[in-house]
Amino acid sequence: MKMQKIVTFLWFDGQAEEAVKFYTSLFKDSKIVTIARYPDAVPGLGGKVLTAVFELNGQRFMALDGGPQFKFSEAISLFINCDNQEEIDYFWNKLTADGGKEGNCGWLKDKFGLSWQVVPSNMGELMQPKDPARGGRAIQALMQMSKISIKTLEEA
Residue pLDDT, tens place only, 133-146: 777 888 899 999 99
Is the domain of 50 the same as that of 99?
no
Domain span at residue 7 reads: 1-67
Q: Kindly indicate the confidence band of residue 128, based on its pLDDT and cuts at 50, 70 and 90.
A: confident
pLDDT at position 14 is 93
Q: Kindly indicate the confidence band of residue 31, based on its pLDDT and cuts at 50, 70 and 90.
A: very high
Is the pLDDT reported for residue 99 higher than 90? yes
* Mean of the per-residue pLDDT values of the chain: 93
Is the domain of 63 the same as that of 95?
no
CA distances from 122 to 32, 96, 119 (A): 30, 23, 8
Is the pLDDT reported for residue 3 higher than 90? no
Is the domain of 85 the same as that of 129?
yes
Is the domain of 80 the same as that of 128?
yes
Q: How many domains does the chain have?
A: 2
Domain end, chosen from 23, 41, 67, is at 67
What CATH number does residue 51 fall under? 3.30.720.100
Farthest CA pair distance, the chain: 66
Phi, psi for residue 31 in degrees, rounded to 5? -165, 160
If 0-12 CB within 10 Å is exposed, 13-18 middle and 19+ buried, where does residue 18 land? middle
